[in-house]
Structure 1
Amino acid sequence: MRAIVQDRYGGPEVLRLATDLPVPTAGPGEVQVRVHAASVNAADWHTMRGMPRAARLMAPKQFGRSGPTRRERGQDFAGEVTGLGPGVGDFAVGDEVYGEVGLTAAHGAFAEYTTVAAANVAHKPGGLSFEEAAAMPLAADTALQGMKDLGHTHAGQTVLIIGASGGVGTFAVQLAKSYGATVTAVGSAGSAELLRSLGADEVLDYRAQDFAALGRRWDIVFDLSGTYSLGRLRRALAPDGTLVLSGGGNPHDGGFFGPMSVNIGALFADRFTKQHLVTLQEHPDRAHLDELRELAESGVLRPVIQHRYRLEDAADALRHHEDEPALGKIVLVI
């Protein structure tokens, strides 16, 4: 079996294509999937680089001392069920599925085959290709949790989405509009047309316009960048508004805590303000995947794919994700 593996922390150069790995076998409660497509997420470079460094102390099941505990990379996938472990009755061999392996699973998604807990898998949305479906699980679920579960977005509210042109942001814009909110999207200069096509009412170029200096306040601020201070974010938030933090920061900043410092500050500040300051921790969930499938099939959500790479070019895909302005998702075709 071919799969993308790494043996030590570092940039995309540490990734390599292994060609002789054994095909993993589904254990109790698991399904074996022939992966047709996988997508790149910020979680992949966090794990690849072992950053922020504080995470190596706080998440030992994911981060080892010199390299990730799981050699195989990749989270999101879409493919076909090829095997069922004991106790799995929800799927059949041949079912087209999509899902997320989870950060501490034994096998990754940048591979020809993977095994995953059946609870983290759902039937693939009808009408979507494998590549489109693979773009959804982690990113769309993060957007769903941020906009619905934590933000409680509803009609008449104003929403500021920072990092709106990325994988999570493009889904968040669509969800916020579907809930009836007025959406201001912060993205790169070249993303305005895309963001308006997804429903954004206003687009701010983050290089030319400082949202915190406009003198405006939004009911919900969804920060997907992880590069702004807590003070700047709160200045843009209504006195009783909700700030949802889910930004991964910058892979090149080299800080020990990275965006975790903002999350820690929000945890303490939330106790002393009417503003609601929360950190989003995405986790695989069958119920969310089923909901996302319904949203995709009804036309509420559509994945935006920026670029496609072959499995053997995964290092280039990660490099692209780290270094170029995001316009949706990057997908590996397997």
Structure 2
Amino acid sequence: MTFPTPAIGTNQVLIRTKAIGINPIDIQVRDAKNMLEMITGGNYPEKVILGWDVAGIVEQVGGSVQTFQPGDEVYGLINMPGLGSTYATHVVAPAEQVSFMPRNLSFVAAGATPMAALTAWQAVVTLGQLQQGEKVLIHGASGGVGHFAVQFAKARGAYVTGTASAKNEAFVRNLGVDEFLDYTAVPFETKISDVDVVIDTIHSVDHIARSITVIKKAAAWYIYNLILQVHWKISWLLQV
């Protein structure tokens, strides 16, 4: 289906799409109208273009935009929650929602980065408030969110334990984990204890309950309540 090239506002940029990221939320919104309504607040056109992650080249800038100019290579997570419409060949984005693309990234790598990386940053820094010397357990360390979380945690000076299956051990170790646990071989809670933060990317109440048992006792009750609140919100969002 062909749409006209969208017009930009004064604080927006027009990006010619080179690559996009597709995340679980894309599939869930595509499969369920109620998810689309939830993400957009019910404000969406008759013909919807999905997608939120994008990497591409700036073609136009609005009159108030000073950071970017045509030809710049950029990437970002666009209008989440809302409609990012990054599956299109041209994407209109608020200038503050895009960044210059790192020179050492391809468009494909950059397009796959924003949502997963920002989710990991929120877990490690915004919510986890991980500090140097603290111990963190990261489940699904080889996954989209998990592999970013490992790198952010190491950059903050934490002692990182990552779980994954044996086939991904080399990859996870190369990310810099201090300790690797094969979750298929032995229950993780029998091998680790007294951690400061757990980042659990496994969507399971049982898994969360097991994770709580390895947290330092002083923090366990607070973390338990925080996890329940986050899990309830995620469950509501994903309609589990």
1:225 is aligned to 202
Structure 2 length normalisation: TM-score? 0.83
Letter in 1 for 2:12: E
Conserved? CA contact 2:29–2:36, under 8 Å = no
Confirm whether residue 201 of structure 1 aligns to residue 178 of structure 2.
yes
Which one of the candidate residues 212, 230, 240 is aligned to 1:279?
230
Structure-2 separation of matches of 1:107 and 1:152: 29
Structure 1 length normalisation: TM-score? 0.61
Cα deviation digits, residues 286-322 of structure 1 (max 9, x gap): xxxxxxxxxxxxxxxxxxxxxxxxxxxxxxxxxxxxx
Structure-1 separation of matches of 2:45 and 2:31: 9
Which one of the candidate residues 150, 158, 162 is aligned to 1:173?
150
RMSD of aligned residue pairs (Cα, Å): 3.2
After TM superposition, the structure 1 = structure 2 runs for residues 1-334 of structure 1, keeping only pairs within 5 Å, are 18=1, 20-50=2-32, 59=38, 61=40, 71-214=48-191, 216-229=193-206, 230-241=208-219, 269-270=225-226, 279=230
Higher helix share: 2
Conserved? CA contact 2:196–2:216, under 8 Å = yes
Query: What are structure 1's unaligned runs of at least 5 residues?
Result: 1-17, 246-265, 271-275, 282-334
Please state how far the C-alpha of 1:37 moved relative to its aligned partner: 0.9
Query: What are structure 2's unaligned runs of at least 5 residues?
Result: 234-240
Conserved? CA contact 1:220–1:242, under 8 Å = no
Conserved? CA contact 2:52–2:83, under 8 Å = no
Please state how far the C-alpha of 1:33 moved relative to its aligned partner: 0.2
Conserved? CA contact 2:51–2:83, under 8 Å = no
- Residues 161, 124 of structure 1: alpha-carbon distance in 2 compared, 3 angstrom cutoff: same
1:5 is aligned to none
Higher relative contact order (CA 8 A, sep 6+): 1
Structure-2 separation of matches of 1:81 and 1:242: 47
Conserved? CA contact 1:221–1:233, under 8 Å = yes
Structure-1 separation of matches of 2:49 and 2:230: 27
Structure-1 separation of matches of 2:220 and 2:7: 44
Q: Would you say how many aligned residue pairs link Structure 1 and Structure 2?
A: 232
Identity of aligned residues (%): 34
Please state how far the C-alpha of 1:115 moved relative to its aligned partner: 0.8
- Residues 201, 215 of structure 1: alpha-carbon distance in 2 compared, 3 angstrom cutoff: closer
Structure-2 separation of matches of 1:242 and 1:102: 35
Structure-1 separation of matches of 2:167 and 2:88: 32
Structure-2 separation of matches of 1:161 and 1:179: 14
- Residues 113, 224 of structure 1: alpha-carbon distance in 2 compared, 3 angstrom cutoff: same
Letter in 2 for 1:43: I
- Residues 180, 47 of structure 1: alpha-carbon distance in 2 compared, 3 angstrom cutoff: same
Structure-2 separation of matches of 1:48 and 1:227: 23
